[in-house]
Structures are given as structure tokens and as C-alpha cells.
């Protein structure tokens, strides 16, 4: 198997997590994009309960916390990310209202109608977009919001190479109108959608990986799995440069009906 034929799912989970622990974010995004999405949400107060699902080390959670006043629970499956998350929260002195918990997003421990807002950047793909928006809806109060980013096609047709790559990595990738239809069908009003600007991928994600890759390769010199992981990330970044007109992350914001 050529390394660029290998899907991200086939790499050692621990190794992936270590690699991504060393960078500020574990997926494309930016403080500006988080704030823009937040600007569509108008039901928040000191009493609000917010969940950030697949929060990673908390890049976007800290932005959310600085710009809201309610309580935020960060959820991630990977304990090392949650440890870093809780350290970052303490550094910002936000520990009274922000807490990271190790838990899977497909087995959440919230009460029905407990939450005012469900946030999830670059992570809903772990359960799948349609399943996530449907399963998580019951945790929201009526009128509560969901705001997620999801890999989406920008055009109905695209070159084979990128079509194959994404259909292997995440077959649920689809055009924006399909995703909006799924939001409506799941019982939300589609409040807004916007494409994440290119710099969310380049400056805020791939550029940060360059020095992390060098350090990682030094630490794991001769380790084939580590070398393949870095090669995969470089390949993904190269594909983005080549095909960024055809796909990207889109923020979807819905309001529970």
C-alpha cells in the first residue's frame, strides 16, 4: 500500500494524539471563525450551559469562554487532550465555569434539554454529521443552538484525486445544500452557514504543523508509523493547496425547533 493510499483511521491512535497535542489546534479553524459563528447565537446568559464536543486541547473553547458568561463543558475522548485543556483553562483563570471531561461524543451524559448551545469544531465527523445532529438534539433546550464545522464540497463536481481522498477519509462529505437539508430534517432551523476562510487551514493549521513535524520525526527517527503519519499530514496539506476551491470546512448553525 502506498502511504498516500492509507486512511488516517489506520494510524496508531496514541501516535496521532501525541502529534496533535503539540499544536494549538487539532483541526482547521480560527478565533475569528469561532467569533463569527458565535455572533449568530442570541440566547446566552450567565446561566447558560454550553458543551464543546471533541474539544481537543481547547483552542476554540477558550475563545468561546472569553466571549460568553455561562458554563462550558469540554468533552473529548482522549485524556491527554483533556489534561492539556484543563491546564489551559486554569492558565486563563476560567476554571470556575469551564471544565474538560473525558467522554465519548456517542455516549454523552447530559440530561434531556439541559444545554443552551452545542459546539463542535472539526469533530462531528467522528460520529458522522447526520447521526451527531440527530442524537445530540435531545440535550438542547427548545430554542437552543448547535454550531458545528464539517468538511463539505463547494461544488457538485470535482477532480477524481480529491474525490477519492475524501470518500476514503470521510464518505459523509457532501455539498452544503445537502447538509442544510439534513439540519432541517433533524428538527433545526438553519440559522447560518459560512465557509471557513483559507487561512483557517493554512496559517492556523498546516503552518503550525511544520515545526511539529520536524520535532516528531527527530523523536521517532526510524519509526515507520511516525514517518507515515507525517507523510500523510504533508500529503493532506498538499492536497488542500491543490484543491482548496473544491472543499473546505463549513460552519453550520442551527436552532432547535
Task: Give residues in contact with ligand SAH (CB under 6 A).
Answer: 25-27, 29, 54-56, 59-60, 75-78, 81, 104-106, 121-123, 126
Beta carbon nearer to ligand SAH, 60 or 182: 60
Contacts 24+ apart (CB under 8 A), 195-198: 195/152, 195/154, 195/248, 195/249, 195/250, 195/251, 196/28, 196/29, 196/30, 196/33, 196/149, 196/248, 196/249, 196/250, 196/251, 197/30, 197/32, 197/33, 198/244, 198/248
Min dist CB 102 to ligand SAH, Å, is 9
Min dist CB 157 to ligand SAH, Å, is 28
φ, ψ of residue 29 to 5 degrees: the values are: 165, 180
Beta carbon nearer to ligand SAH, 8 or 189: 8
Beta carbon nearer to ligand SAH, 29 or 144: 29
Which segments of the chain are extended strands (E)? 49-53, 71-76, 98-102, 115-120, 140-153, 174-175, 188-195, 247-256
Min dist CB 137 to ligand SAH, Å, is 17
Min dist CB 160 to ligand SAH, Å, is 27
Beta carbon nearer to ligand SAH, 94 or 158: 94
Min dist CB 236 to ligand SAH, Å, is 13
Cell of 162: 480529491
- The answer to whether 28 and 205 have CB atoms below 8 angstroms apart is yes
Beta carbon nearer to ligand SAH, 13 or 159: 13
Amino acid at each position: 500500500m502506498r502511504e498516500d493510499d492509507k486512511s488516517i483511521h489506520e494510524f496508531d491512535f496514541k501516535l496521532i494524539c501525541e502529534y496533535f497535542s503539540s499544536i494549538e489546534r487539532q483541526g482547521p479553524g480560527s478565533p475569528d471563525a469561532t467569533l463569527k459563528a458565535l455572533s449568530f447565537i442570541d440566547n446566552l446568559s450567565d446561566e447558560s450551559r454550553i458543551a464543546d464536543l471533541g474539544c481537543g486541547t481547547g483552542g476554540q473553547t477558550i475563545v468561546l469562554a472569553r466571549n460568553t458568561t455561562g458554563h462550558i463543558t469540554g468533552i473529548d475522548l482522549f485524556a491527554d487532550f483533556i489534561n492539556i485543556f484543563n491546564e489551559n483553562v486554569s492558565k486563563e483563570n476560567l476554571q470556575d465555569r469551564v471544565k474538560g471531561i473525558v467522554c465519548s461524543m456517542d455516549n454523552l451524559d447530559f440530561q434531556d434539554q439541559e444545554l443552551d448551545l452545542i459546539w463542535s469544531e472539526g469533530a462531528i465527523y467522528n460520529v458522522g454529521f447526520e447521526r451527531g445532529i440527530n442524537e445530540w438534539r435531545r440535550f438542547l433546550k427548545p430554542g437552543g443552538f448547535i454550531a458545528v464545522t464539517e468538511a463539505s464540497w463547494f461544488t457538485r463536481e470535482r477532480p477524481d484525486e480529491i474525490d477519492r481522498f475524501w470518500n476514503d477519509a470521510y464518505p459523509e462529505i457532501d455539498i452544503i445544500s445537502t447538509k442544510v437539508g439534513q439540519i432541517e430534517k433533524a428538527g433545526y432551523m438553519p440559522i447560518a452557514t459560512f465557509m471557513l476562510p483559507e487561512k483557517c487551514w493554512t496559517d492556523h493549521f498546516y503552518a503550525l504543523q511544520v515545526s511539529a513535524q520536524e520535532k516528531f520525526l527527530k523523536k521517532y527517527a526510524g519509526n515507520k508509523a511516525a514517518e507515515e503519519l507525517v507523510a500523510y499530514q504533508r500529503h493532506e496539506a498538499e492536497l488542500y493547496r491543490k484543491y482548496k476551491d473544491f472543499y473546505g470546512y463549513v460552519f453550520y448553525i442551527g436552532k432547535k425547533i
